[in-house]
Amino acid sequence: MSEGLSRRSLLRGGAITAGAGVVGYVVAASSDATGTKPATAAANGYGSDEGTGTRLAALRDIPAGGGLIVAEAKVVLTRGESDEVGAFSATCTHQGCTVASIEDGLIVCPCHLSRFDLATGAPVAGPAGRPLPPVAVAVRGDDVYTS
Ligand code: FES
């Protein structure tokens, strides 16, 4: 009798061990326990894992010698005559309104009509006394990203 119990216990123990092995394999196969799983294009939506940042605009949307206000990102993108792109915060340094237009080479705040130089962000008219802070951006391919 004790031999039967012992054999039954042995069989039950073997079944439990085999089941645990299968569960462990399934868990390991469905996760990346090493953390070395490569990023995929679908992970960031931009087709590449080079660099990071948020896409702000297409380069072609920034007029040469002009600028583009990306209000949702609170960034003013500027472009010289080449493809070199600069950027400033779109938050006015006077009282924090978002600048709203670019006129005659100047970035204009609608609240109290401060105007900032498009190339340097320096205030040139109105009550703002400090320049628009620069923002780091990067051109990758045909698009401009925060960097
Ligand atoms: S907040 Fe921009 S000029 Fe006053």
- pLDDT on residue 50: 60
Residue segments in the chain with a per-residue pLDDT below the cut of 50: 1-49
Does the C-beta of 74 come closer than 6 Å to ligand 1? Answer: no
User: CB pairs under 8 A, 24+ apart, for 42-46?
Assistant: none
Q: Whose CA is closest to 99, among 85, 87, 113?
A: 113
CA of 137 to the centre of ligand 1 (A): 24
Q: Delimit the domains of the chain by residue range.
A: 2-37, 52-146
What's the first-to-final CA gap in the chain, in angstroms? Answer: 75
Does the C-beta of 131 come closer than 6 Å to ligand 1? Answer: no
CA of 93 to the centre of ligand 1 (A): 7
Kindly state the greatest CA–CA separation across the chain: 101
Its pTM stands at 0.66
CA–CA dist 62, 96 (Å, integer):
24
- pLDDT on residue 112: 98
Measured in degrees and rounded to the nearest 5, phi and psi for residue 139 equal -95, 120
Q: Whose CA is closest to 74, among 59, 86, 92?
A: 92
Answer yes or no: CATH 2.102.10.10 is held by domain 52-146.
yes
CA of 11 to the centre of ligand 1 (A): 81
Measured in degrees and rounded to the nearest 5, phi and psi for residue 17 equal -65, -45
**Contact by Cβ (8 Å): 90, 70:** yes
- pLDDT on residue 52: 81
